[in-house]
A and B are shown apart, each in its own frame.
Chain A
Amino acid sequence: MGVNERTKNVGCHCLARSRLPLMRSPQLQAHIYILAAVATVLSAVCVRAQNVQPAGATNHIVVIRQVHFNPPQMTVKAGETVEWKNEDIFSHTVTADDGSFDSGLIDPDNSWQRTFQQAGTVGYHCRPHPNMRAALVVQGTNGTGAAANAASRGGTLKWSPPTKAQELHPILVNFTAALLPLAFLSDVLGRIFRRQSFHHTAWWMVLYAAVITPFTAAAGWWWRLTEGSTLPAKLITVHEWLGTTAVLLFVVLAIWRWSIHKRDTSPNWAYLTFALIVVLALVYQGSLGGRMVFGK
Chain B
Amino acid sequence: MKLRKSYLSVFTSAVLLVAGAVTAYAQAPTDPQIAGIVQTANHIDINQAKLALKKTSNPQVKEFANQMISDHTSLEKSVNDLAKKLGVTPEDSATSKQLKQQAADETKKLASLRGKAFDKEYASHEVAFHQTVIDAAKTTLIPNANNAELKSALEGAAPLLQGHLEHAQQLEQSLGAK
- Indicate which residue in B78, B156, B163 contacts A129 across the interface (CB closer than 8 Å): B163
A68 lies within 8 A of B159 (CB): yes
Q: Is A156 in contact with chain B by the CB < 8 A criterion?
A: no
Q: Is A26 in contact with chain B by the CB < 8 A criterion?
A: no
| 1/0 contact string of B58-86 vs chain A (CB within 8 Å) | 00000000010011001101100000000
A66-B159, A67-B159, A128-B67 known; A90-B74 Cβ under 8 A:
yes
Tell me what chain A mostly uses at the interface: helix, strand, loop, or mixed.
Answer: loop
B57 to chain A, nearest CB (A): 20
A20 to chain B, nearest CB (A): 69
A90 lies within 8 A of B166 (CB): no
- For window 189-213 of A, CB contacts with B under 8 Å fall at none
A130 lies within 8 A of B163 (CB): yes
Contacts of A128 in B (CB 8 A): 67, 71, 163, 167
Q: Is B170 in contact with chain A by the CB < 8 A criterion?
A: yes
- Indicate which residue in B71, B156, B166 contacts A130 across the interface (CB closer than 8 Å): B166
B74 lies within 8 A of A132 (CB): no
**Interface size (A, Cβ < 8 Å)?**
14
A132 lies within 8 A of B163 (CB): yes
- Indicate which residue in A66, A68, A89 contacts B74 across the interface (CB closer than 8 Å): A89
Residue in B closest to A130 when the chains form the complex, CB atoms:
B166
A62 to chain B, nearest CB (A): 16
A66-B156, A67-B159 known; A131-B166 Cβ under 8 A:
yes
- Complex CA distance for A190 and B65, rounded to whole angstroms: 64
A89-B74, A90-B70, A128-B71 known; A67-B160 Cβ under 8 A:
yes
Q: Is B120 in contact with chain A by the CB < 8 A criterion?
A: no
Residue in A closest to B163 when the chains form the complex, CB atoms:
A129
- Complex CA distance for A127 and B67, rounded to whole angstroms: 10
Contacts of A108 in B (CB 8 A): 74
- Complex CA distance for A129 and B164, rounded to whole angstroms: 6
**Which residue, B75, B159, B160, B164, has most C-beta atoms of chain A within 10 A?**
B160
- For window 152-170 of B, CB contacts with A under 8 Å fall at 156, 159-160, 162-164, 166-167, 170
A13 to chain B, nearest CB (A): 61
B160 lies within 8 A of A130 (CB): no
- Complex CA distance for A89 and B156, rounded to whole angstroms: 12
- Complex CA distance for A126 and B167, rounded to whole angstroms: 10
- Complex CA distance for A152 and B78, rounded to whole angstroms: 42
- Indicate which residue in A91, A126, A132 contacts B70 across the interface (CB closer than 8 Å): A91
Residue in B closest to A126 when the chains form the complex, CB atoms:
B163
| 1/0 contact string of A99-140 vs chain B (CB within 8 Å) | 000000000100000000000000000111111100000000
- Complex CA distance for A35 and B134, rounded to whole angstroms: 71
Contacts of B164 in A (CB 8 A): 129
What are 18 inter-chain pairs, A to B, with CB distance below 8 A?
A66-B156, A67-B159, A68-B159, A89-B75, A89-B78, A90-B71, A90-B75, A108-B74, A128-B67, A128-B163, A129-B159, A129-B162, A129-B164, A129-B167, A130-B166, A130-B170, A131-B159, A131-B163
- Which A residues lie at the B interface, using CB under 8 A? 66-68, 89-91, 108, 126-132
* Contacts A128-B71, A131-B162 known; 12 new A-B pairs at CB < 8 A: A67-B160, A67-B163, A89-B77, A90-B70, A90-B71, A90-B75, A91-B67, A129-B166, A129-B167, A130-B167, A130-B170, A132-B163
